[in-house]
Structure 1
Amino acid sequence: MQLATAHSSWKARLSLEFENRTQRTIVSHRKHSGPLVIQKPFYPEGRPCHIYLLHPPGGLVGGDHLSLDVLLHKGSHTLITTPGAAKFYRSAGPLAQQIQTFNISNDGLLEWLPQETIAFNQTNALIQTRVNLDAGAKFIGWEITCLGRQASDELFNSGRFVQKLEVAINNKPSLIERALFEGNSELLSSPWGLAKHATVGTMIVTPANQQLVTSVREHLQVCTQGKSGQLFSATLVDNIMVCRYLGPQAETAKHLFIEAWKIARPYVQNIDACIPRIWNT
């Protein structure tokens, strides 16, 4: 694969707004530039709007910049997912960036449930996610990251991958996280770090309480019983449930997060989880 140069980069931006109408949530505003688009909305469960986010080039190289801005108006409910893994390819130096900002109004629920992100060896990339919730707003989201490509025996022994996550509720910072993964660093191999695991994941749910956290813990303990080499945790930070995965495979992380989602969604929105159709293809 040819290393990316600044002259071959893409710039793409997508802005979406959602409104609650009598019987369903609709896309009330859509504006895009560059190769970042959505398919026609799906309504497999009635009112909630399911959106499939598409990036036709299939991955990001050095110098690429994707920007996603989503606004949910009062009472709207939207689930956003992707048809396949996001890929950050190796870079000759320029930074590849994916910046996403989610603004959720009172009584709105955004479910941000993308497929995994693959950081190729020698990548130089940043993913930054900011979630702004009004009082009474709700959010369920996850990010699953694979460092290197295990299927191709490609380790993440060179490169830099940064993830930033900020959650603000009613204009007050509630959760701020920053992860820096550098190829062949001590963090990747040490027992106090990733312990040579290639897949990490974070899932957040708000609002949440200790009862929800306990239910998720107990159920996931059953799911992981007898399966060594993978770790799952659920903790409560103020009124945010933070779930984490560390293990060998993205599919396992996704399976466990889906199990947690099946418990969290009825708590947050009083409706059962509805698996997006595209996950079954």
Structure 2
Amino acid sequence: MNAPASSLNVPESAMGWKARLHLGYQLRHGKARLVDRMQRGPLAVQRPLYPEGAPCHTYLLHPPGGVVGGDQLDIRVHTQQGAHAVITTPGATKFYRSDEKMAYQFQTLSVEKDSTLEWLPQENICFPGAHAQIHSDIYLEQGSRFIGWEFQCLGRPANNETFNHGSIDAKTRVYIDGEISLIDNLTTHADALIKSTTGLRGHAMSATLIAGTIDSDYLEVVCDVLDSFGPQLAVGATCVDGLLVVRMLGNNTEDIQNVLIPVWKTLREQWLEIPACSPRIWAT
């Protein structure tokens, strides 16, 4: 699979960390191996782990601990046929306040037929006054298996800090066999989107889980999980053209994780047909 190269539309005047991390996984001797790794700048990964046999668990690290205006992060992941990678982060990615200078995070995920990628990062926290573009392009082949999520937190609700100034442009695009199948946008200046009745409706967090390429029969399976939490949740699920999408609003990470992790575990067990195996880093 040859996904188009990420287009980093970054002004020449941008100054800060310029980091790249490219990871390629291949099935060798019955296990997914991290056979291609290119890193530049402060992005890195820990030594791959194999807590469940064939799947390769990888922890993505951003050592400075946060992203500021002028930083440019370019993350690319490619799973070849037969490989299975599970990628997460040890903590939230924090986008700090800047003087209107933009921070950039671009992610390109490519999943070949008969390969599996589970993309399970912790949340993105956008501090009041942050300016960030957070773009994810996901390229799936028919017959590939992808489960991934993105959490965006505007402000720091636990500290009663609202996102009352700054700008965020978060976009996820999913392609199946090169054709666009989903565009998911979250764009706001200050707290306009949070206050909007057609936006976040007073919530500080938005989360999206995507699974594909998947049969629509699994929508009922996911809805059964969501129904078990009662009607009080701001959550919904759809399945169109091989993509199952769960969207949720909330005000703290734990509430969202308490819903989406069971959805992920259920899809793992019933769709991927392997037991749930949470990354060990989640328990620390």
Q: Shared fold by TM > 0.5?
A: yes
CA contact (8 A) 2:21 2:76 kept: yes
SS at match of 1:210: coil
Aligned equivalent of 1:196, options 181, 192, 202: 202
Moved over 3 A (4+): none
**2:222 is the alignment partner of 1:219:** no
Letter in 2 for 1:201: A
Which whole-Å CA distance do the structure 2 matches of 1:172 and 1:10 have between them? 33
Which whole-Å CA distance do the structure 2 matches of 1:111 and 1:210 have between them? 19
Letter in 1 for 2:251: P
Tell me the residue number matched to 2:245. Answer: 242
Shift of 1:189: 1.1
Which whole-Å CA distance do the structure 2 matches of 1:264 and 1:200 have between them? 21
Q: Write out aligned runs for 1:121-132 (5 A).
A: 121-132=128-139
Which whole-Å CA distance do the structure 2 matches of 1:130 and 1:52 have between them? 20
Shift of 1:208: 2.2
Aligned equivalent of 1:98, options 95, 105, 124: 105
CA contact (8 A) 1:207 1:268 kept: no
Shift of 1:155: 0.4
Tell me the residue number matched to 1:169. Answer: 176
Which whole-Å CA distance do the structure 2 matches of 1:141 and 1:275 have between them? 14
Tell me the residue number matched to 2:42. Answer: 35
| Sequence identity percentage | 43
- Deviations 1:82-140 (CA, angstroms, capped at 9, x unpaired): 00000000111211011010111110111000001101101110111011112211111
Aligned residue-pair number: 272
Aligned equivalent of 2:125, options 106, 118, 126: 118
Shift of 1:8: 5.9
Tell me the residue number matched to 1:3. Answer: none
Tell me the residue number matched to 2:277. Answer: 274
Which whole-Å CA distance do the structure 1 matches of 2:242 and 2:170 have between them? 22
Shift of 1:210: 2.9
CA contact (8 A) 1:206 1:268 kept: no
Shift of 1:65: 0.4
**2:223 is the alignment partner of 1:253:** no
RMSD: 1.4
SS at match of 1:61: coil
Shift of 1:43: 0.4
CA contact (8 A) 1:20 1:73 kept: yes
SS at match of 2:228: helix
Q: Write out aligned runs for 1:69-108 (5 A).
A: 69-108=76-115
Tell me the residue number matched to 2:68. Answer: 61
Letter in 2 for 1:160: S
- Deviations 1:153-176 (CA, angstroms, capped at 9, x unpaired): 110011111111111111111112
Tell me the residue number matched to 1:51. Answer: 58
User: Is there any run of 5+ residues in structure 2 with no aligned partner, and where?
Assistant: 1-12
Which whole-Å CA distance do the structure 1 matches of 2:165 and 2:16 have between them? 21
Shift of 1:7: 7.8
User: Is there any run of 5+ residues in structure 1 with no aligned partner, and where?
Assistant: 1-5
Which whole-Å CA distance do the structure 2 matches of 1:176 and 1:7 have between them? 27
Letter in 1 for 2:35: S
Deviates more, 1:41-50 or 1:17-26: 17-26
Which whole-Å CA distance do the structure 2 matches of 1:75 and 1:7 have between them? 40
**2:240 is the alignment partner of 1:233:** no
Which whole-Å CA distance do the structure 1 matches of 2:154 and 2:72 have between them? 20
Which whole-Å CA distance do the structure 2 matches of 1:101 and 1:9 have between them? 21
Shift of 1:267: 3.5
CA contact (8 A) 1:19 1:75 kept: yes
Tell me the residue number matched to 1:147. Answer: 154
